[in-house]
Amino acid sequence: MKKNILMNATSKIVSIIPKKNIKPILSGVKIHSKDNSIYFSATDMESSMMIKVESFNIEEQGSYVIDALTLEEIAKNLLKDDVHFTLETNKAIAHTGAGEIKIPVMNADDYPELDFDNVGEEIKLPKEKIMEMIEKVLFCASTDEMIRNLNGVLWEFSGKYLRLVSADSYRMAVTEEVVFDEERPDLSFFLSLKSMKEIQSLLKESDEEYFTIKFDGKKVITKIKDILFAARLMDVSFPNYKAVLPEQFQTKIIINRVEILKALKLINIIAKGKGDTVKLNIEENKLEISARSQDRGDGDIPYEIKQEGKNMLVAFDPVYLIEGLQHFNGDELEMNFVDENNALQINDTEISGFLHIIMPVKIRT
């Protein structure tokens, strides 16, 4: 096998390996031959990947499991441009052309059976549009794997539309786009954050115009180049996000996204401590962004804005505001406030299809 091919395959397959060692066998990559081709497979029992790997020589059929991280390190540090693997009892030998490395192997019969059956309803989606939608919501999904019903992204198909929704305990992102030419039956499923990141990574490598998935009610499967990827649906109930969307606002302001983003990044130098907040003081068509820190000093930045409704003083985690604004493209945004204790909604003034919800924090006296 060529060094660059081995490096490319192992760098992808290790992303599937579970961080927590549920079973020792799951720390490995299953290597097997079929129809004169070599395949690398891995799973964390929720997402699975199988890569068809090019090789310049296959002498016999067989399969074994080798520690994935060890294989990746070997691939990175090979002394020659190609490597020849042979399998002996309980070990694989990597012949590098300048010596050899012996690596323990695990029994492939102990490896879980992976479901790559390409069955179910085919859903064909515009790749570039899906990549943009994923980018807009992925940052908002909870990274806490213990909160399973928020540790991922909800996919909702309705008519011609696809809606992606993500949330953690403090914020939410919703994006919606027309992805079909004709009306389709309603369909929804929830994919884990890890699976979503794998799909995002695979889409970046795809040179196809469309992203095609198969959905069979239990999993989503896709093939991009020589990679098969299967994501088991999360058996959880995503919260009723529509109930979180504010219905009425007391205050609306129009902001210049780039200017406010720069101001927030500057103020965030002050509000970097745990629990530090940034205050937004809206008063008579002016917005003052401020922060106070006993250790790092004070900061106040005023801006002229367009204001509708009452004056308001409200505080937020500055990181949430910065991350939210970074995922919009328009120059002008609306910031819609319910009150000091309820959700802020950010959306474009002209382009619909994406909105961001952030919960404020209590102002400390």
In this structure, the answer to whether residues 354 and 273 fall within a common structural domain is yes
Mean predicted lDDT score pLDDT of the chain: 92
User: pLDDT tens digit string along 148-176?
Assistant: 999 999 999 999 999 999 999 899 999 99
In this structure, the answer to whether residues 96 and 144 fall within a common structural domain is no
Residue 364 — very low, low, confident or very high, per pLDDT cuts 50/70/90? low
Domain boundary among 215, 242, 269: 242
User: pLDDT tens digit string along 123-138?
Assistant: 999 999 999 999 999 9
pLDDT at site 80: 86
Residue 310 — very low, low, confident or very high, per pLDDT cuts 50/70/90? very high
More confident position, 193 or 119 = 193
**Mean pLDDT calculated for residue range 187-212:** 95
- Give Dmax (Cα) for the chain: 79
Task: Name the DSSP class of 364.
Answer: P
3-state secondary structure at position 90 = coil
In this structure, the answer to whether residues 348 and 294 fall within a common structural domain is yes
Distance, in Å, from the CA atom of 349 to the CA atom of 306, rounded to the nearest integer, reads 12
Domain boundary among 110, 130, 146: 110
Amino acid at 314: V
**Mean pLDDT calculated for residue range 67-80:** 91
Q: Does a structural domain hold residue 285?
A: yes
Neighbours of 169 (CB within 10 A): 10
In this structure, the answer to whether residues 285 and 329 fall within a common structural domain is yes
Domain boundary among 58, 81, 110: 110
- CATH number for 157: 3.10.150.10
User: pLDDT tens digit string along 215-243?
Assistant: 999 999 999 999 999 999 988 999 999 99
Residue 183 — very low, low, confident or very high, per pLDDT cuts 50/70/90? very high
pLDDT at site 365: 56
pLDDT at site 102: 92
Amino acid at 238: F
User: pLDDT tens digit string along 48-64?
Assistant: 999 999 887 888 888 89
Q: Which of 365, 359, 2 is nearest to 167 (CA)?
A: 359
User: pLDDT tens digit string along 241-299?
Assistant: 999 898 899 999 999 999 999 999 999 999 887 778 999 999 999 999 999 888 888 89
Q: Which residue has the tokens 């030419």?
A: 181
Q: Specify burial of residue 274 (Cβ count, 10 A radius: 0-12, 13-18, 19+).
A: exposed
Q: Does a structural domain hold residue 135?
A: yes
Q: Does a structural domain hold residue 324?
A: yes
User: pLDDT tens digit string along 91-133?
Assistant: 999 988 778 899 999 999 999 999 888 778 999 999 999 999 9
In this structure, the answer to whether residues 153 and 89 fall within a common structural domain is no
Q: Specify burial of residue 70 (Cβ count, 10 A radius: 0-12, 13-18, 19+).
A: middle
Number of domains making up the chain? 3
In this structure, the answer to whether residues 264 and 193 fall within a common structural domain is no
Would you say residue 318 has pLDDT above 60? yes
What stretch of H or E contains 304?
strand 297-304
In this structure, the answer to whether residues 225 and 319 fall within a common structural domain is no
Domain range enclosing 330: 246-358
Distance, in Å, from the CA atom of 198 to the CA atom of 133, rounded to the nearest integer, reads 15
Q: Where are the alpha helices (DSSP H) in the chain?
A: 3-13, 68-76, 127-138, 193-205, 257-267, 318-326
Q: Which of 100, 101, 32 is nearest to 61 (CA)?
A: 32
Alpha-carbon dihedral angle through residues 217, 220, 223, 229, given to the nearest 10 degrees: -130
Neighbours of 217 (CB within 10 A): 9
In this structure, the answer to whether residues 227 and 311 fall within a common structural domain is no
Distance, in Å, from the CA atom of 216 to the CA atom of 209, rounded to the nearest integer, reads 23
pLDDT at site 233: 93
In this structure, the answer to whether residues 20 and 87 fall within a common structural domain is yes
- 227's CB contacts (< 8 A; 6+ apart) are 12, 49, 50, 51, 52, 202
Question: Which residues partner with 344 through β-bridges?
Answer: 337, 358
Q: Does a structural domain hold residue 363?
A: no
pLDDT at site 201: 95
Q: Does a structural domain hold residue 116?
A: no
Which is it for strands 297-304 and 312-316: parallel, antiparallel or unpaired? Answer: unpaired
3-state secondary structure at position 142 = coil
Distances (CA, A) of 154 to 60, 122, 203, 313, 351: 45, 18, 18, 33, 22
In this structure, the answer to whether residues 252 and 231 fall within a common structural domain is no
pLDDT at site 35: 80
In this structure, the answer to whether residues 281 and 184 fall within a common structural domain is no
In this structure, the answer to whether residues 151 and 178 fall within a common structural domain is yes
Residues shown for the chain: 365
pLDDT at site 57: 80
Amino acid at 341: N
Q: Does a structural domain hold residue 365?
A: no
How many percent of the chain have pLDDT more than 70? 99
More confident position, 356 or 22 = 356
Q: Does a structural domain hold residue 276?
A: yes
Residue 72 — very low, low, confident or very high, per pLDDT cuts 50/70/90? very high
